[in-house]
Structure 1
């Protein structure tokens, strides 16, 4: 398999204006889909990382900085190397039930550790951990030492097989300006209990908020999704910027944990986002996908999880 390799930031910026206009028309015709509600609490779900500084009022759209906005991603993130860039780590196992550092390095085509990275959504590295049954989602922003060694510190992990992803953009070399998603597996020893994936639904709850997703994605096709956030039946309009957007949305495919980043297209204007947010979704394969939506209110980060089926 090949890992995700996405277009340059300049191409994304050129495509963003046209895509935003198309999404506006498509979303006008996209009705709200009903569905049963499920509690979003997922064992081990963890946001990680300190929240970003609040964007000032009038802050423009963050679409031009979103990975993949210029076209389709060409992979699923399931390989540890692509185009000479490789994710390496001496860590093959992590201890269950406690925080433990996961150290890794990105090496370039010359075999040397990469130390120059361009920020994507305000961070030079996005690190994800997901268990094979799609529970225990963690999204972290590791720190890098001078020699190019990154350290992520996942919260306590449940026993089982995990896949860890590194999402980054080199700041130089042959891969400069290209977005990569590479991954490796890690084992957490112990008696593993597999959780059943919750059924597909268009609505879920977390921390008193109700998150509803409208849209019916088809595998391999670009499709708009709308997310609506309410609380006690009232629309939420105080979403705060998180990673230069009002919500961060990541998806993992049932069975192989293939990775997809659903790109936000809603402009950011201060601390009053919502209640509706728009996303550009392109899920590469059919089947069930577990979605993790992260949004911030009152300085607190919330993570809502639901299952969405791509036809």
Structure 2
């Protein structure tokens, strides 16, 4: 749950030395084969609630896991299904096209047993993301866990192609207590998959009548301030509602290697409304194009704006 300057997501802290901020920066990544998207979002790159976005991007690097849905290289950056003794396991290697589906998974710990005790982060014990290999179809949902440690993430209709799903969490007991982890697996949605190009870099985009503008010039591997401003009909928006304990949620994916980053405003949400300017502490590790997804809420409705940011 512009998730990336703490364009990072996935979450509280893969931050490098010198990173200023009360935000946590976590890096993750997704890489798969090529494909395309075609959903009912009002504009390309927009995601309304948990529905997939029609945002497009260039292809990511293919997965190299030895088995479907498994990737054992790049451990520690979100591209792996395991880290520090924790593993993301699932029997789901495919999901149907064009219909809602539940992705079932379990997180096992160093003792190879399901983990059931997770710390609350941004009001949730688990943040779950899905992105297609061309960086379309972005979804951010919060799955439910059964007593045996099995999670079910309810995903909106997926388009054919290769997808990567990320589980972002913090164990509350055991060896990994208090450590932010991001693990991922790949899955396939059968059907005719077509690659969609990445939209060109831009400083602003529109969604649901709102104009979202990004100000700042992040440099790769360096902490840098980033400001997101939201307006409607030329007027600054000041009625942003608290969402996940803040006023906006930012997620980003890097073109080429599809690494994932996730950022939140430095200002914690209060009981009142926020806006129009949201400050972020950005630290993007690599140069190139990043596809950003900003989620914010007004009038009880969640909006998702997407644009491409050039770094370096």
TM-score, normalized by length of structure 2?
Answer: 0.79
Instruction: Give how far 1:164 is off.
Output: 0.2
Asked whether the 8 Å contact 1:166–1:183 carries over to 2, the reply is: yes
Question: What are structure 1's unaligned runs of at least 5 residues?
Answer: 21-38, 50-73
Give the Cα–Cα distance (whole angstroms) in 2 for the partners of residues 267 and 124 of structure 1.
18
Structure having the higher helix fraction is: 1
Instruction: Give how far 1:6 is off.
Output: 5.7
Give the Cα–Cα distance (whole angstroms) in 2 for the partners of residues 6 and 271 of structure 1.
24
Task: For residues 149-196 of structure 1, give each alpha carbon's deviation from its aligned partner in whole angstroms, at most 9, with x where no partner exists.
Answer: 000011000000000000000010010011001101110011011111
Partner of 2:43: 41
Partner of 1:151: 152
CA spacing shift, 1:44–1:93, aligned 2, 3 Å: farther
Give the Cα–Cα distance (whole angstroms) in 2 for the partners of residues 268 and 112 of structure 1.
36
Q: Per the alignment, in what secondary structure is the counterpart of residue 181 of structure 2?
A: strand
Partner of 1:185: 186
Asked whether the 8 Å contact 1:253–1:259 carries over to 2, the reply is: yes
Instruction: Give how far 1:228 is off.
Output: 0.3
Paired residue total: 260
Partner of 1:266: 267
Check if 1:292 corresponds to 2:296: no
Q: Per the alignment, in what secondary structure is the counterpart of residue 264 of structure 1?
A: coil
Instruction: Give how far 1:42 is off.
Output: 3.2
CA spacing shift, 1:101–1:300, aligned 2, 3 Å: same
Asked whether the 8 Å contact 1:247–1:293 carries over to 2, the reply is: yes
Give the Cα–Cα distance (whole angstroms) in 2 for the partners of residues 43 and 269 of structure 1.
29
TM-score, normalized by length of structure 1?
Answer: 0.79
Give the Cα–Cα distance (whole angstroms) in 1 for the partners of residues 91 and 142 of structure 2.
19
Instruction: Give how far 1:45 is off.
Output: 3.3
User: Which range moved further: 248-257 or 197-206?
Assistant: 248-257
Asked whether the 8 Å contact 1:249–1:263 carries over to 2, the reply is: yes
